[in-house]
Amino acid sequence: MSIKYKIDDTKKNKNLINDEIKLSRIKSKGGNGDDRTPPKKQKSTRDLLIEFMGEQRAFNTRMEKQVSNLRSDVNTLKINLNRVIKLNNLKQ
């Protein structure tokens, strides 16, 4: 714990001997400390890693679902395109 002071007044003589400095103590903004909320604890590296892995797993699951949907859409387009080509060949 550190104590902070501010300089109120200074009186210096020419020889710089017996300088007078008046100080006053600066009170902390938190008061006496009883009503302050306790500081938040930092998460450990392990907890941060576990949290990140959970978020990454959720992200990967979403991406896999989107890729799966895209693959099914491409397959549907491929089937429809093959039908159009087949019909065009029959008409000729």
Please indicate, yes or no, if residue 37 is contained in any of the structural domains: no
Asked if residue 85 is part of any domain, the answer here is: yes
In a domain, 88, yes or no: yes
Residue 6 lies in a domain: no
Within a domain: residue 36? no
pLDDT the model gives residue 53: 95
Let me know if 55 is exposed, middle or buried by CB neighbors in 10 A (0-12, 13-18, 19+).
Answer: exposed
Residue 54 lies in a domain: yes
More confident residue, 84 or 14: 84
The answer to whether residue 81 is domain-embedded is: yes
pTM for this entry: 0.46
- State the pLDDT confidence band at 17, using cuts at 50, 70 and 90: low
Condensed to tens digits (0 to 9), the pLDDT of residues 20-41 reads 777 778 876 665 555 566 777 8
Identify whether 27 is part of a domain: no
- Token digits for 10? 């200074």
Q: State pLDDT tens for residues 33-69.
A: 555 667 778 888 999 999 999 999 999 999 999 999 9
Q: How many domains does the chain have?
A: 1
Domain of 68, in residue numbers: 44-92
